[in-house]
A and B are shown apart, each in its own frame.
Chain A
Amino acid sequence: MQTHDATLVVAVRSDVVGDRTVATMSAIDAPATRDRARLDHTTSFLGAAITSGAITTDSASATAVIADWHAQLSTAVSLEAGLVVAADLLDDAAIDWRLTKGPALAHLDYDDPAMRCFGDIDLVIHPAHWTRALAVLRDAGMRRETPELAPGYDDKFGKGATLCSASGLEFDLHRRLAIGRFGVRAAMEDLFTIADHIELAGRRIPCLDGPGRLLHACYHVSLGGFSGLRARRDVAQLVLVTAVDWRRTVAIASGWDGAAVIVRAITDTWSTLDLDTRHPAHRWARAQRVGRADMRALGVFGADGSFRAQALTALGALPLRWWPSYLVALATPRLARGRR
């Protein structure tokens, strides 16, 4: 179980539950709390909580937090402008894709998009278009951060690829929502039957629908390694504020043998943010029994195990004939140097 900065917990939960808990951030603690908030992109919640009085602090720390927030907003709009360029490229190539996480949540699930900051753009690519999508973006000058572990690895087993634009904007292209056991079980086509949309720079951007966004948020909480408070806030926001059809999320995950991921994400979110346990989603989660193999796999991710350890959780979910190529790919010396 991760431990979280107590001040940030108050900040992240304060406006979603509407409680009036007041915390103090001392001038001594402020630099470390600001660092954690910047890393997890929860500075917006910290800034809003200071503004509303849910967190009290000295004026210098308050000013510094607001400056951090503004810097993250500048990053967010630069990323969104870059997204519009990428959207044109993908659409011109007739690639089926969906925006997910950061900007999708900011515009669809938060009253004020300024409350949901992010440091990259996440795109889910239809499995049939994966290779072409990478080629299109590379041809446009984007650079892949780390090479594919082995030819064909991404499409067959991988989570995706991170691309960087010439101006340094980071795009995470998702072939799956996670590596390992729960990643390889996912039939990603299921996320492309429907879409929500946002408009950016006068352009219509396709996004995962509500249940899909919740699914991805849950995968991030349960399988994202160090997944901080922001990911848990997203789950709470989607269930409690947007009120997405969480049962549909469960149905999709169950079809992938991934209900355990949703169970873990909801129980973890409710416990971390101390949310009302009478909510039906929490009651459902508490009533589920997670099998031993799924528990073991969740444990590897929860303990923030190495990439290789997380990837190896896939073995039990892969056909035996695929084991050799999978194990050979994971044996690459690059992984020993700590690729995540």
Chain B
Amino acid sequence: MTPERGSPSTPQVFRRATDAVWRATPGFLALARPDGATLDVSGPGFRIWQLLVTPATMTELVIVLATEYGAPLDEVERDVDEFIKTLADSGFVHADP
């Protein structure tokens, strides 16, 4: 696996934006914010969003999803990284620190 974002000793923790409203069903996630931003995502993103009910690091997300889907870690990591980037770019997920 590639190194976590953030400093070497403190991996980034991803958390949902507190002003997001959402619906998640298997294979689909709909997000919106009061400022008018919206995002629809098809695929396993809904599951990542569900897992983010508790703030989590990339490694934590990848391990859970790789276990659930029985997929190779590096493959899952690529997908999670891409999805988290989409959420972060649109302001639906924030990273700490």
Contact = CB atoms under 8 A, between A and B. Distances in A.
Interface stretch (A72-80, A246-254, A257-265, A276-284): A72-80
Contacts of B36: 81, 167
B2 interface: no
Interface string A70-102: 100110111011101100000000000000000
B8 interface: no
B34 interface: yes
A43 to B, nearest CB: 12
Interface string B7-34: 0000000000011111111011011111
B5 to A, nearest CB: 25
Nearest to A87: B34
Contact of A70 (B19, B20, B30, B33): B30
A201 B25 contact: no
Contacts of B34: 81-82, 84-85, 201
Interface string B30-61: 11111010101010000000000000000000
Contacts of B22: 77
A69 to B, nearest CB: 7
Interface residues of B, number: 19
Contact of B30 (A77, A85, A167, A201): A77
Contacts of A73: 23, 25, 28, 30
Contacts, number: 54
The B contact surface, by secondary structure, is strand
B40 A201 contact: no
A114 B18 contact: no
A119 interface: no
A78 B28 contact: no
A76 B33 contact: no
Interface residues of A, number: 20
B28 A77 contact: no
B21 A80 contact: yes
A70 B28 contact: yes
A70 B22 CA distance: 12
A113 interface: yes
B40 A70 contact: yes
A202 B15 CA distance: 14
Given A77-B31, A81-B32, A201 B19 contact: yes
A67 to B, nearest CB: 9
Contacts of A85: 34
A213 B18 CA distance: 27
A114 B33 contact: no
A114 B31 contact: no
Interface of B: 18-25, 27-28, 30-34, 36, 38, 40, 42
- In the A-B complex, list the 10 residue pairs whose CB atoms are closest, starting with the nearest: A81-B32, A77-B32, A73-B23, A202-B18, A201-B19, A84-B34, A80-B21, A73-B30, A74-B30, A114-B23
